[in-house]
Chain A
Amino acid sequence: MKAISKSVPKRDHAAKISGSAVYVGDHPTDDLLFGRMLRSTKARARVLGVKLPVLPEGYFFIDKNDVPGDNEVHIILDDNPVFVEEIAEHIGDVIGVLAGTDEREVNILLKQIEVDYEELEPVFDPRKSDVAFFDFGYEKGDAEKAFAEADKIYEEDFETGLQEHMYLETNGIIAEFKDGKMYVRGSLQCPYFVHRAVMKATGLSSENVSVTQDVIGGAFGGKEDFPSILGCQVAVAAYKTKKPVRVVFDRHEDIEGTSKRHPSFCNYKAAVKDGQVTALEIDVLYDAGAYATMSMVVLQRGIIGCGGVYNVPNLKVRGQARKTNTVPNGAFRGFGGPQVFFAIEMLMTHIAKDLQMDSVDFKLKHVAKHNDLTSTSGRFHFPVPIPAMVKDITEASGYYSKKEAYKNQSGRFRRGIGLAAVYHGAGFTGNGERDLIKAVVQLRKDRDDNVEILTAITEMGQGVNTAFIKIVAQELGLPPERVILVPPDTARVPDSGPTVASRSVMTVGELLRRAAIRLKAEWRDGEEQLIEEHYKHPEYMIPFEMPAFRGDAYPTYSWAVNAVEVEIDTYTGFIDILGAWGSFDAGTPIDENIVIGQMEGGFLQSIGYAMMEKMTADKGYIRNNNFSDYIIPTAVDVPNMQVKLHVEDFPLGPYGAKGAGELPHVGGAPAVAEAIQNALGVNLHKIPFLAEDVMDVLRRKGGI
């Protein structure tokens, strides 16, 4: 283990544990207006009119007519309006904000508002939607030929469901318009996303908008795109009322009104020749919800990863994100990857079973190797450690002997074990870093020789501040206490890009390392100094061409092998997780405890995604909008989780670090699903797979 990996207490720890950390809901409320959203109760309807009760002094209603700039939230296609322009596109679509001095009074008045709708026909099933926000496709090799020459062709459909982030702290924003400037703060991952969105909605120039991050109580991607929407709404309210306005959601509103993981419907066709998969034809469909928001990039990651960790020479891929009249789906840890990795991993196990091979052996026969072509005809420029990790995990979990032992079982409880091998492309897809983000970081040294880190990256519990401080302190040879890092404010920090895509340590951390090296070289005691560092695109990368999807989609890959063992109660359908083993390669951990914590948490989230977390929208209305109806796993549910780190250094990451945050949320689900299928002796095609689904299988099979 490198010195840098040695764990230290997290920088944000003490404040959070002691309760002194200030979240957006903790700011003094004396001079504040409380805002509540007026939301559409119809899944699709023309808003003909809004009838307000008489508003007392100090109470305001803000809607589309009050937007000083464009009534558009700047997220890729800018199609999400700040406030409904004419047609409400989903239940919960925001028609306006009611703001006033007394929170209770605002709630009472809100209930008295009458909205006149003309109902329109909504669409809830993306398979029946004829609006594709995005429709991509690419090919590699000659899939047609491979199918023509195949010994056998397999075709299967896979489905995955919604997943809710369930961060503990709900979304919340405060905005204030003062002296011609808009100040926005709150629980947000990407200050500059919000900054640009607020500029567009208010028509204010960049200097006149400042966005500050408050302490964040969890995000998982749920505060990546969404705060741009809420930020614009609250900023417009502050603009109109000339008072600070705060909107903090309660749990119901947060669940009903904010983004989730895209449900997916995938069709996979595989050509097999001489026991080898020679071609895949894949059709990916993501349910985008009512507006496009982040779906483009989520979908891109999905279709790039849909062939899994395997070297399949011939590919034909199509991917669409279609519109439905449901709350827009957005970023969520894994970002389009978990859906397709579930599908490909299941498909591989099904083919293996049909060929009477063990699924792990079958997968290993196909795993890509160093320098092989990727799905998009880029290269795996660095070693692919999957075989070694599989070895580790099969040994740690007792995979082979368990698989053998579970072939013949009787009695009430049936066991199964599954193993999945996955990757997560580290950092932004394609040329995003080079062409769009162009990250900048600064180090500022004051006269006392303390060094402040200036980036737009946000700490949301994942440990990035601690990692940044360690990197800078190590290079400068300073004690960490001398390194200052406060939550970013766009008025003070350069745009180092959003805190997403598992890019922060790998990309921004490396910029900081280089800045620190320069600062050290130029160090002058007792003087103020400012060092700025800019992103440089890795030279070895094969340029990524769009819309052809050709070239290196990612500078490198993080890898994971996960095994899960289950015990299923055939009387109740209850799925008990007996053990979960994970080997994760996120490069050098900048802090071992932090990375292990990320791996454990993400792994658990991925297990929940497969067998516990079920969110259903009933005609566009999400009923399980609280913690007692939307069940997520607790530590008690997976007491035996063993996580280890496998390190393949990435030469361009700081000390060899690469993307960590999302990696653990990819492979847990297919491992669980294979374990369940192993226990029940049936093939699985959908997650979440719950106790009811177990009982359905047993009913259909007439017992087991």
Chain B
Amino acid sequence: MVKGIIAKSLRDALELRKDSTFVPYIGGTDLMVEADENKSYLFLHQVPEMKNIAEDEEFIRFGAACTFTEIIKNPLSPMILKQACRQIGAPAVRNMGSIGGNIGNGSAKADSALICMVTDSKLRLASADSERIVPIKDFYLGRKKLNLNPDELIIEILMPKHGLENYYHEKVGARKALAISRVSFAGIMDIKNGVIQNNATAFGAVSDVIIRLDTIDNMLIGKTIEEAKKLRGDYIQAIGDAIVPTRGRVGIEYRKDVCINLLKSFLEVSGI
């Protein structure tokens, strides 16, 4: 029989999480695809502390149990995140699916996680007796391998709030709606006074984890547009060399070509 407990507070949730046989469950839109009758579930959708969207000086803070619909509707949500969330699933999936679940499923195809990656968001992870903040890039260790202890939950996503205005996002699915990403790309280019302050890219659905090549992206930071133009070829080459698609349903060559095309398109609209 399926067992489930509905946590009503964060303390409640973390206490229950000590029993690691409970599988954390927010919207269930991933979990219920392969529902397992022998598992027990810890329902988190009513934990008030995980439903907030708030901001501080540095971050917009999304409770892990916020649904995509809630994120899309909230004026605090940055446009890049809204755009990605709007392209998830169908209305029912957006109403139930959550940003926390999207990250927690560990998939490189997760569309809101892509935005968390490109924005270098941080995750607040907590257990009953400790708490830590982890850059999302360090959260993904490998294919379906997460930097998450058995007694921990993802509580909150901290998304930097500045410098996200110039963004680029494209999701390539097999059809226009209800489509899992075959390739997805997000880029952020922050240029002030002709100098690149930030250049960040992320590639989804290509490898075991979302690809975030920050050291290569940094090539362009601190450069003027003119300097960046000169580096363009080397930069694209370096990214291209670093992207090694894993085998999957969608062809390797295809995904690589699309990544590079979208990267070029991102540079082009950024004036580089």
B-contacting residues of A (Cβ < 8 Å)?
104, 412, 570-574, 576, 612, 623-624, 628-629, 631, 633-634, 636-637, 690-692, 695-696, 699
Name which of B175, B253, B258 has the most chain A CB atoms within 10 A of its CB.
Answer: B175
Confirm or deny: B179 has a beta carbon within 8 angstroms of a beta carbon on chain A: yes
Asked, given contacts A571-B262, A571-B265, A572-B170, whether A699 binds B257 with beta carbons under 8 Å apart, the answer is yes
A-contacting residues of B (Cβ < 8 Å)?
37, 170, 172, 174-180, 182-183, 249-251, 253-254, 257-258, 261-262, 264-265
Contact A695 B174 (CB under 8 A): no
Contact B172 A629 (CB under 8 A): no
Q: How far is the CA of A696 from the CA of B258 in the complex (A)?
A: 11
Q: How far is the CA of A547 from the CA of B199 in the complex (A)?
A: 71
Asked, given contacts A572-B262, A574-B172, whether A692 binds B177 with beta carbons under 8 Å apart, the answer is no
Q: Give the residue name and chain of the B residue nearest to A633 (CB).
A: B175
Name which of B180, B182, B262 has the most chain A CB atoms within 10 A of its CB.
Answer: B182
Contact B258 A631 (CB under 8 A): no
Given pairs A612-B174, A629-B249, A634-B178, 20 additional interface contacts (CB within 8 A): A571-B258, A571-B261, A571-B262, A572-B172, A572-B262, A573-B254, A623-B249, A631-B179, A636-B176, A636-B177, A691-B172, A691-B174, A691-B182, A692-B250, A692-B251, A695-B253, A695-B257, A695-B258, A699-B253, A699-B257
A residues in contact with B178, CB < 8 Å: 634
Q: Can you list 17 residue pairs at the A/B interface with Cβ under 8 Å?
A: A104-B37, A571-B262, A572-B261, A572-B262, A612-B175, A623-B249, A624-B249, A628-B180, A634-B177, A636-B175, A636-B176, A637-B175, A637-B176, A691-B182, A692-B254, A695-B253, A695-B257
Name which of A570, A574, A576, A623 has the most chain B CB atoms within 10 A of its CB.
Answer: A574
Q: Measured between C-beta atoms, what is the minimum distance from A604 to chain B in Å? A: 11
The one of B175, B183, B251, B264 that contacts A572, using a Cβ cutoff of 8 Å:
B183
Q: How far is the CA of A633 from the CA of B175 in the complex (A)?
A: 7
B residues in contact with A636, CB < 8 Å: 175-177
Contact A412 B265 (CB under 8 A): yes
A residues in contact with B37, CB < 8 Å: 104
Q: Measured between C-beta atoms, what is the minimum distance from A190 to chain B in Å? A: 32
A residues in contact with B177, CB < 8 Å: 634, 636-637
B residues in contact with A637, CB < 8 Å: 175-177
The one of A573, A628, A629, A633 that contacts B258, using a Cβ cutoff of 8 Å:
A573
> What number of residue pairs across chains A and B have CB atoms under 8 A from each other?
53
A residues in contact with B264, CB < 8 Å: 571
Q: Give the residue name and chain of the A residue nearest to B262 (CB).
A: A571
Q: How far is the CA of A578 from the CA of B179 in the complex (A)?
A: 19
Name which of B176, B250, B251, B265 has the most chain A CB atoms within 10 A of its CB.
Answer: B176
Give the 7 A-B CB pairs with smallest separation, nearest first: A571-B261, A636-B177, A631-B174, A692-B254, A572-B172, A636-B176, A637-B175
Asked, given contacts A631-B179, A691-B182, A692-B250, whether A572 binds B258 with beta carbons under 8 Å apart, the answer is yes
Q: Measured between C-beta atoms, what is the minimum distance from A618 to chain B in Å? A: 11
Q: How far is the CA of A624 from the CA of B250 in the complex (A)?
A: 12
Q: How far is the CA of A633 from the CA of B180 in the complex (A)?
A: 14
B residues in contact with A691, CB < 8 Å: 172, 174, 182, 254
A residues in contact with B257, CB < 8 Å: 695, 699
Q: How far is the CA of A104 from the CA of B1 in the complex (A)?
A: 11
Q: Measured between C-beta atoms, what is the minimum distance from A561 to chain B in Å? A: 25
Contact B254 A695 (CB under 8 A): yes
Q: Measured between C-beta atoms, what is the minimum distance from A262 to chain B in Å? A: 23
Q: Give the residue name and chain of the B residue nearest to A692 (CB).
A: B254
A residues in contact with B175, CB < 8 Å: 612, 631, 633-634, 636-637
Q: Measured between C-beta atoms, what is the minimum distance from B124 to chain A in Å? A: 31
Q: How far is the CA of A572 from the CA of B257 in the complex (A)?
A: 8
Q: Measured between C-beta atoms, what is the minimum distance from B97 to chain A in Å? A: 14
A residues in contact with B174, CB < 8 Å: 612, 631, 690-691
A residues in contact with B183, CB < 8 Å: 572
A residues in contact with B261, CB < 8 Å: 570-572
Q: How far is the CA of A236 from the CA of B107 in the complex (A)?
A: 45
A residues in contact with B180, CB < 8 Å: 628
Q: Give the residue name and chain of the A residue nearest to B254 (CB).
A: A692
Q: How far is the CA of A573 from the CA of B172 in the complex (A)?
A: 9
A residues in contact with B251, CB < 8 Å: 692
Q: Give the residue name and chain of the B residue nearest to A636 (CB).
A: B177
Q: How far is the CA of A104 from the CA of B35 in the complex (A)?
A: 14
B residues in contact with A631, CB < 8 Å: 174-175, 179
Q: Give the residue name and chain of the A residue nearest to B37 (CB).
A: A104
Name which of A104, A412, A629, A691 has the most chain B CB atoms within 10 A of its CB.
Answer: A691
Q: How far is the CA of A633 from the CA of B179 in the complex (A)?
A: 10
Q: How far is the CA of A104 from the CA of B254 in the complex (A)?
A: 42
A residues in contact with B254, CB < 8 Å: 573, 691-692, 695-696
Q: How far is the CA of A696 from the CA of B180 in the complex (A)?
A: 22
Q: Give the residue name and chain of the A residue nearest to B170 (CB).
A: A572
Q: Give the residue name and chain of the B residue nearest to A574 (CB).
A: B172
Name which of A572, A634, A636 has the most chain B CB atoms within 10 A of its CB.
Answer: A572
A residues in contact with B249, CB < 8 Å: 623-624, 629
B residues in contact with A695, CB < 8 Å: 253-254, 257-258
Name which of B37, B177, B257 has the most chain A CB atoms within 10 A of its CB.
Answer: B257
Q: Measured between C-beta atoms, what is the minimum distance from A630 to chain B in Å? A: 10
A residues in contact with B176, CB < 8 Å: 576, 634, 636-637
A residues in contact with B265, CB < 8 Å: 412, 571
Q: How far is the CA of A634 from the CA of B176 in the complex (A)?
A: 8
Q: How far is the CA of A104 from the CA of B177 in the complex (A)?
A: 35
B residues in contact with A623, CB < 8 Å: 249
Q: Measured between C-beta atoms, what is the minimum distance from A640 to chain B in Å? A: 12
B residues in contact with A629, CB < 8 Å: 249
Q: Give the residue name and chain of the B residue nearest to A613 (CB).
A: B174
Q: Measured between C-beta atoms, what is the minimum distance from A495 to chain B in Å? A: 42
Q: Measured between C-beta atoms, what is the minimum distance from A639 to chain B in Å? A: 9
Q: How far is the CA of A691 from the CA of B170 in the complex (A)?
A: 15
Q: Measured between C-beta atoms, what is the minimum distance from A172 to chain B in Å? A: 20
B residues in contact with A633, CB < 8 Å: 175
Q: How far is the CA of A170 from the CA of B195 in the complex (A)?
A: 59
B residues in contact with A612, CB < 8 Å: 174-175
Q: How far is the CA of A696 from the CA of B254 in the complex (A)?
A: 8
Q: How far is the CA of A612 from the CA of B251 in the complex (A)?
A: 15
Q: How far is the CA of A629 from the CA of B33 in the complex (A)?
A: 13
Q: How far is the CA of A24 from the CA of B204 in the complex (A)?
A: 42
A residues in contact with B170, CB < 8 Å: 572
B residues in contact with A576, CB < 8 Å: 176
Q: Give the residue name and chain of the B residue nearest to A616 (CB).
A: B249
Q: Measured between C-beta atoms, what is the minimum distance from B243 to chain A in Å? A: 15
Q: How far is the CA of A624 from the CA of B180 in the complex (A)?
A: 14
Q: Give the residue name and chain of the A residue nearest to B250 (CB).
A: A692
Q: Measured between C-beta atoms, what is the minimum distance from B131 to chain A in Å? A: 36
Q: Measured between C-beta atoms, what is the minimum distance from A273 to chain B in Å? A: 43
Q: How far is the CA of A572 from the CA of B254 in the complex (A)?
A: 8
B residues in contact with A699, CB < 8 Å: 253, 257
Q: Give the residue name and chain of the A residue nearest to B260 (CB).
A: A571
A residues in contact with B258, CB < 8 Å: 571-573, 695
Q: Measured between C-beta atoms, what is the minimum distance from A694 to chain B in Å? A: 9
